[in-house]
């Protein structure tokens, strides 16, 4: 991994990509979404502060556990003076995300446990499907593809 001399306080997008492991296109996307920012040189090239490395690491860690970018952006915007997140910030924010992650774990467990049944049954019925209709919430209204058609018309 290329080392950045201590005297360099700004990084090019290529340097930031090399150090963070994020693709240049991902960094541009993060910037467009307001997750990171850069200044432009007179030649219109992006320059990032060195602490953007930690911000990108924070974003990527949150993404790996399934946190949506909009949620990450909202969390980062709560930091004072748009500072780089610290270990304490991560602990606080990750605690706030715990219930959302627990819900996803439950949903993924249900998917894992019933995926073979769904593929094996082939019915694609919303009446009986534990994936599309957990706890049979639609069972009293309509069944099967009629419900799918109703949802499309209401959309």
The per-residue pLDDT for 134 is: 61
Count of CB atoms situated within 10 Å of the CB of 148? 13
Between β-strands 10-11 and 39-40, what pairing exists: parallel, antiparallel or unpaired?
unpaired
The per-residue pLDDT for 88 is: 86
The per-residue pLDDT for 27 is: 96
pLDDT in tens, 5-52: 556 789 999 999 999 999 999 999 999 998 998 999 899 999 998 889
CB neighbour class for 116 (10 Å; exposed up to 12, middle 13-18, buried from 19): exposed
| Most distant CA pair in the chain, distance | 68
Which is more confidently placed, 116 or 148?
116
The per-residue pLDDT for 118 is: 58
Q: What is this structure's pTM?
A: 0.63
């Amino acid at each position: 991994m290329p080392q950045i001399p201590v005297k360099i306080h700004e990084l090019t997008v290529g340097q930031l990509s090399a150090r963070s492991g994020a693709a240049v296109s991902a960094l541009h996307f993060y910037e467009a979404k307001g997750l990171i920012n850069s200044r432009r040189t007179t030649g219109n090239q992006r320059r990032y502060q060195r602490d953007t490395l930690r911000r990108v690491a924070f974003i990527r860690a949150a993404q790996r556990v399934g946190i949506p970018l909009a949620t990450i952006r909202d969390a980062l915007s709560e930091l004072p003076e748009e500072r780089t997140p610290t270990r304490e910030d991560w602990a606080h924010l990750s605690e706030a995300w715990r219930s959302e992650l627990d819900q996803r774990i439950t949903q993924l467990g249900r998917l894992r446990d019933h995926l073979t049944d769904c593929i094996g049954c082939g019915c694609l019925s919303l009446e009986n499907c534990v994936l599309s209709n957990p706890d049979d919430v639609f069972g009293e209204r309509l069944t099967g593809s009629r419900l799918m058609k109703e949802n499309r018309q209401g959309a």
